[in-house]
Chains A and B, each alone.
Chain A
Amino acid sequence: MSVPAELRYTQEHEWVAIEGDTATIGITDYATQQLGDVVYVSLPEVGAAVTAGEPCGEVESTKSVSELYAPVDGEVVEVNEELDDDPGLINAEPYGLGWMFRVRVPDGHSTGLVLLSPTEYDTLTKSAG
């Protein structure tokens, strides 16, 4: 299971990459393995304000549906429209082509949740079995 060192994580299994004033968000490899094949993802709209720790979308897989939580506060500036036609990208490349949405974070500092380091996230998933 892959936990890239350059990313930050949430307890709800989202990953966050902050570059400049933009946070890119997706779900982790661990999450996709728990969910199985993703068949549909509902994302927040561009321009919407999201609040860290609050649901902002949903991820449907064969067996279940899960809420997608915003890991940071901010305004949605882009969503991955490729996922509409090909939600399987989330399983195939959770940290790459399977990214979900981007949020503007003022001054490059995320506010809201304390994000987990890769080591902390790895520990979390291992303790979950």
Chain B
Amino acid sequence: MTSTVRDTPLLNVHERLGATMTEFAGWRMPLRYGSETAEHNAVRTGAALFDLSHMGEIAVTGPGAGDALDYAVCGWPSKLAVGRARYTMICAPDGGILDDLIIYRQAPERFLVVANAANAAVVLGELRSRCSGGALVTDESAVTGLISIQGPNGLGFLARVTDIALAPMAYYAGAYGRVAGREAWIARTGYTGEDGFEIFCAPGDCEPVWDALAGSAAGGVPAAGLAARDTLRLEAGMPLYGNELGPDVTPYEAGLGRVVRLDKPGDFVGREALAARAAQGPRRTLIGLLGLSRRVPRHGYAVLSDAGERVGVVTSGAPSPTLGRPIAMAYVAGPANGPFGIDVRGKTEPAEVTGLPFYDRRK
């Protein structure tokens, strides 16, 4: 094992912007550029840019690619139309989640699998061992940069620097096009709970693409770091691998049983275990909690019943910039309607159960 920390193709941009950098999943990444709350609010009310070049990109190509992926992951990628994307998971034989993924069908015989940076090597290894019969698995992470523009104004800004029509593109769709004259795969996906686009391009094209996007609005489009990304996804009720998802969690417990396509033909890795789990009902439930005090529930804090017994654990928690109060996701065993308390460093703070997501842009 080496402990080499990798830099994204946008390191120069981050330094120019004075970012506070942090090490994340083996990458040196921007944590924030100024105030992470301002960056969060920019995404909710305008638009902001993210460097997501740390994400893993794996291509599965060839005449057998769709069938191979149907065996490798829980979803049904062979049913995807060209130009569409799906959120899915790759599970171990026991049904535990190895990673959550977005799979794009870029061409009839080409799928792009996007994995979390921390799991990219595991996903690559699993895909290589699971995919056979006319499917080629290629690690494209090192030759792919990823920039995201998120927020209600993102479409209008990106439209000024791309040659493809964005408005007709559906959510969870993508197309090849140009951004700032550079070839890119442009997809209407994201991890913030807002409308937005993700732009996959060559590492050498990242800086001109970023600069064009940053300059696409009068006054500029601000950058946002990983700190804002985390509070945005939490408000949107989106799980994070390592917090809500992990090898000891099945998609059903995470409230994401819909991604498991037990109705697809043929075997897939984890089918037997997942079918059994689907029939049993979940052992624990992922819930949303609104803190009633100002002290913030954090990852790992105990969730307590009314009687003070430990019934669960907080998986993610943060002060919500949009709601102005603490929010958290937690796994609880048994009844999931509360009332609950959270053990915040020795003192029990009250919390109320709320539906996920905490924030829905359509409401």
Contacts and interface: CB of A to CB of B under 8 A. Distances in A.
A91 interface: yes
A60 B294 CA distance: 9
Contacts of B319: 39-40, 60, 62
Given A60-B319, A62-B318, A37 B35 contact: yes
B295 A36 contact: no
Nearest to B293: A40
Nearest to A41: B294
Contact of B32 (A36, A39, A40, A65): A36
Nearest to A84: B294
Given A62-B227, A62-B231, A62-B319, A37 B37 contact: yes
A42 B344 CA distance: 13
B296 A36 contact: no
B45 interface: no
B296 A39 contact: yes
Nearest to A64: B298
A62 B37 contact: yes
A36 B30 CA distance: 13
Interface in A29-83: 33, 36-37, 39-40, 42, 58, 60, 62-65
B243 interface: no
B51 interface: no
B137 to A, nearest CB: 36
Given A60-B319, A62-B227, A37 B295 contact: no
A32 B321 CA distance: 18
Contacts of A40: 294-296, 319
B296 A65 contact: yes
Interface residues of A, number: 13
B93 to A, nearest CB: 36
A56 to B, nearest CB: 14
B36 interface: yes
B20 interface: yes
A33 B230 CA distance: 18
Given A36-B227, A39-B319, A62 B36 contact: yes
A19 to B, nearest CB: 31
Contacts of B296: 39-40, 60, 65
B122 to A, nearest CB: 26
Interface size class of B (residues with CB under 8 A): 10 to 19
Contact of B227 (A60, A63, A65): A63
A13 to B, nearest CB: 16
Interface string B221-243: 00000010011000000000000
Given A60-B319, A65-B298, A37 B36 contact: yes
B231 A33 contact: no
Nearest to B37: A37
B37 A33 contact: no
Contacts of A91: 35
B302 to A, nearest CB: 16
Contacts of A33: 20
A75 to B, nearest CB: 24
A63 B36 CA distance: 10
Nearest to B38: A37
Contacts of B318: 62-63
A4 B41 CA distance: 32
A91 B32 CA distance: 14
A40 B294 CA distance: 7
Contact of A60 (B32, B36, B37, B295): B295
A40 B296 CA distance: 9
A39 B321 CA distance: 9
Contacts of B345: 58, 65
Given A39-B296, A40-B319, 14 more contacts: A33-B20, A36-B31, A36-B36, A37-B36, A37-B37, A40-B294, A40-B295, A42-B295, A60-B295, A62-B231, A63-B230, A64-B298, A65-B298, A91-B35
Interface of B: 20, 31-32, 35-37, 227, 230-231, 294-296, 298, 318-319, 321, 345
Interface of A: 33, 36-37, 39-40, 42, 58, 60, 62-65, 91
9 contacts: A37-B35, A37-B36, A37-B37, A39-B296, A62-B36, A62-B227, A62-B321, A63-B227, A65-B298
The 4 closest A-B CB pairs, nearest first, are A39-B319, A40-B294, A37-B37, A36-B36
